[in-house]
């Protein structure tokens, strides 16, 4: 066979844009099966709306409308009441891959990469050939209407059919975005849009979400609380969480004059004293030179020196979990379980310096778990920064942790009982296992912490189950014995002439002394307040 010369082969050499790459590898963005693809579109738009509202300090109201166009084609419209997008940024935000307001920040938001919305634009374009329709209301009566698509060769936005209005209804704010997508399917399953939105409402109790499904049926997930969550705060990375490459990237982008000031300005918990400590260990690093000229070997030495230095733990105050009370209210509102127990754990760190917080809940009975033909089975509701994760459960740290728990210890049959286990992991940096952001990487520290949280919640539910069981036993014994006691009181009264009521009262006292929970009606029926344990367990029945 003739051996080809390199020149011959390299005639084919071409450069590609990131948009071209994702056009070929759409599964990486979550556009694989038809059901998952539709959920991905809804997920990208809804998370953007929630992020935008949270940053602007607005209680979110989101409407998702899905219209059937064809057997495998649907129109998705998402409207929010957020800040909208300024006219000059609409194209770049929604039709340029790797562009947005979040990528460069070290701040807890749902979006991280600047891929989501543009990914939807690309998906619409490659499956239906159509652009995305956008109406951006930025308040003060201003609105901007346009269509966007991507010039995939250059990864640049194409904005067309634009129009503007200065008199859009009463200072309305928000974004309306609408796209046509093919190779998608609407399904009422655990992996469908309805379930995704229901879980979003669970983890975002301050949000009101309306779904209009392809049959025109409207479902409104009403908000359970009226308080706007704290606005996320930007923070700085902790030195212990940094790799050599991270330090180099930060150094090369730095505006500081010296490596010493660069370290203080860029990283958390880094004072002049700490820099002096590092100077004493990392002898090969010139702390007075321009950080832009830092070499790999110097960054490597810095990482080593950082590991040998004592640091104050990272500040976790900028992590905003859902909140224990909020989870309780949302679970009551949406699942109405018989019992539940919610736990919020203290902040921990993974990879040495990245803080995270785990919240876990176990809900039992009512709408918890999943109905099957045979009865019930337990389900796991996974969340990362309040975003439901519906796919790739097999590779997720949450699944791994829940699987590892010995449920028998808590008298819970996770396979056959109506149980829902909810876990939310919050962090400024969630280590997702893929670009599709559907599973949390199986970092040991994260798995261990989730296990502890779920076990704590499981203990709470176990207490309620055994309390309910013992109350039920007391009640049934009381009923049986009192049947005899009533007859006995009557007979004794006849024999002795003592008032029947008096004898009955004495007998009742005797019976309830032995079965104290028999008359415990309130504990069984009062939804709030009763039997509240310190861990935050709550009996709802």
Ligand X SMILES: Nc1ncnc2c1ncn2[C@@H]1O[C@H](COP(=O)(O)OP(=O)(O)OP(=O)(O)O)[C@@H](O)[C@H]1O
What is the rounded radius of gyration, in angstroms, for the C-alpha atoms of the chain? 29
171-190: which residues touch ligand X (CB under 6 A)? 175
Closer by beta carbon to ligand X, 84 or else 323 = 84
Binding span for ligand X by CB under 6 A among 99-107, 201-209, 248-256, 335-343:
99-107
393 lies in the site for ligand X, by CB under 6 A: no
Binding span for ligand X by CB under 6 A among 48-56, 207-215, 334-342, 460-468:
48-56
Binding span for ligand X by CB under 6 A among 46-54, 124-132, 235-243, 419-427:
46-54
DSSP state of 459: H
147-176: which residues touch ligand X (CB under 6 A)? 175
Sequence-separated (6 or more) residues with CB below 8 Å from residue 144: 87, 90, 134, 135, 136, 138, 162, 163, 164
455 lies in the site for ligand X, by CB under 6 A: no
Residue 441 Cα to chain centre, angstroms? 15
Residue in 117, 150, 159, 454 binding ligand X, rule: CB under 6 A: 117
What gap in Å lies between CA 396 and CA 447, rounded to an integer?
9
**Helix or strand run (H / E) with residue 74:** strand 73-79
Question: In a 10 Å sphere around its CB, with 0-12 CB exposed, 13-18 middle and 19+ buried, how is residue 297 labelled?
Answer: exposed
Residue in 44, 195, 338, 392 binding ligand X, rule: CB under 6 A: 44
Whether residue 513 contacts residue 506, with contact meaning beta carbons closer than 8 Å, is answered with: no
Closer by beta carbon to Mg ion, 37 or else 48 = 48
Three-state SS sequence of 167-215? CCHHHCEEEEEEEEEECCCCCCCCCCHHHHHHHHHHHCCCCEEEEECCC
Provide φ and ψ at 116, rounded to 5°.
-50, -65
Residues of this chain that bind Mg ion (CB under 5 A)? 48, 111, 116
100 lies in the site for ligand X, by CB under 6 A: yes
Closer by beta carbon to ligand X, 85 or else 457 = 85
Task: State in angstroms the smallest separation of the CB of 323 from ligand X.
Answer: 23
What gap in Å lies between CA 150 and CA 121, rounded to an integer?
7
**Helix or strand run (H / E) with residue 363:** strand 354-364
Closer by beta carbon to ligand X, 84 or else 239 = 84
Closer by beta carbon to ligand X, 82 or else 355 = 82
Closer by beta carbon to ligand X, 93 or else 426 = 93
Binding span for ligand X by CB under 6 A among 44-52, 314-322, 342-350, 417-425:
44-52
What gap in Å lies between CA 239 and CA 234, rounded to an integer?
16
- Mask of contacts with ligand X, 55-94, x by CB under 6 A? -------------------------x-xx-x-------x-
What gap in Å lies between CA 72 and CA 369, rounded to an integer?
30
Residue in 60, 91, 111, 347 binding ligand X, rule: CB under 6 A: 111
Q: Using CB distances below 5 to 8 A depending on partner kind, what does residue 458 bind out of Mg ion, ligand X, none?
A: none
Q: What are the residues binding ligand X (CB under 6 A)?
A: 44, 48-49, 52, 80, 82-83, 85, 93, 100-102, 111-118, 175
């Amino acid at each position: 066979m003739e051996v080809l010369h390199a020149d011959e082969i390299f005639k084919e050499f071409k450069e590609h844009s990131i948009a071209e790459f994702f056009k070929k590898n759409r599964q990486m963005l979550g556009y694989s099966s038809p059901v998952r693809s539709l959920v991905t579109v809804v997920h990208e738009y809804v998370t953007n709306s929630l992020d935008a509202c949270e940053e602007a300090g607005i209680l979110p109201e989101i409407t998702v409308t899905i219209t059937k166009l064809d057997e495998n084609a649907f129109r998705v419209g998402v409207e929010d009441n957020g800040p909208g997008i300024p006219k000059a940024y609409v194209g770049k935000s929604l039709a340029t891959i790797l562009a947005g307001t979040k990528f460069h920040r070290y701040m807890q938001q749902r979006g991280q990469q600047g891929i989501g919305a543009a990914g939807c634009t690309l998906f619409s374009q490659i499956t239906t050939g159509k652009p995305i329709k956008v109406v951006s209301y930025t308040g003060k009566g201003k609105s901007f209407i346009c269509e966007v698509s991507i010039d995939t060769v250059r990864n640049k936005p194409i904005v067309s059919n634009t129009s503007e209005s200065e008199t859009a209804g009463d200072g309305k704010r928000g974004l309306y975005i609408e796209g046509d997508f093919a190779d998608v399917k609407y399904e009422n399953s655990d992996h469908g849009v309805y379930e995704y939105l229901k879980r979003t409402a669970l983890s975002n109790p301050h949000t009101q979400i309306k779904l209009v499904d392809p049959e025109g049926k409207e479902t409104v997930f009403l908000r359970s609380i009226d308080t706007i969550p704290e606005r996320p705060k930007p923070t700085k990375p902790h030195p212990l969480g940094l790799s050599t490459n991270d330090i180099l990237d930060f150094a090369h982008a730095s505006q500081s004059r010296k490596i010493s000031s660069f370290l203080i300005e860029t990283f958390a918990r880094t004072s002049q004293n700490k820099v002096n400590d590092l100077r004493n260990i990392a002898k090969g690093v010139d702390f007075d030179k321009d950080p832009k000229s830092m070499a790999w070997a110097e960054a490597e030495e810095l990482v080593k020196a950082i590991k040998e230095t004592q640091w104050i733990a990272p500040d976790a105050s900028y992590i905003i979990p859902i909140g224990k009370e909020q989870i309780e209210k949302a679970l009551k509102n949406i699942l109405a379980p018989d019992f539940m127990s919610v736990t919020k754990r203290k902040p921990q760190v993974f990879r040495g310096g990245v803080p995270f917080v785990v919240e876990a809940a176990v809900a039992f009975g009512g709408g918890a778990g999943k109905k099957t033909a045979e009865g019930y089975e337990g389900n796991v509701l996974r969340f990362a920064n309040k975003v439901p994760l519906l796919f790739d459960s097999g590779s997720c740290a949450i699944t791994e942790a829940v699987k590892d728990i010995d449920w028998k210890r808590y008298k819970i049959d996770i396979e056959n009982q109506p149980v829902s286990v909810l876990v939310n992991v919050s962090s400024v940096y969630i280590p997702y296992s893929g670009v599709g952001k559907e599973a949390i990487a199986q970092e040991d520290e994260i798995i261990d912490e989730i296990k502890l949280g779920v076990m704590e919640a499981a203990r709470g539910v176990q207490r309620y189950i055994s309390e309910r069981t013992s109350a039920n036993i007391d009640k049934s014994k009381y009923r049986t014995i009192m049947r005899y006691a009533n007859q006995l009181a009557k007979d004794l009264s006849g024999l002795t002439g003592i008032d029947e009521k008096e004898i009955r009262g004495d007998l009742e006292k005797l019976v309830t002394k032995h079965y104290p929970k028999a008359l415990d009606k309130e504990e069984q029926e009062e939804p709030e307040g009763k039997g509240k344990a310190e861990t935050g367990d709550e009996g709802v029945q």
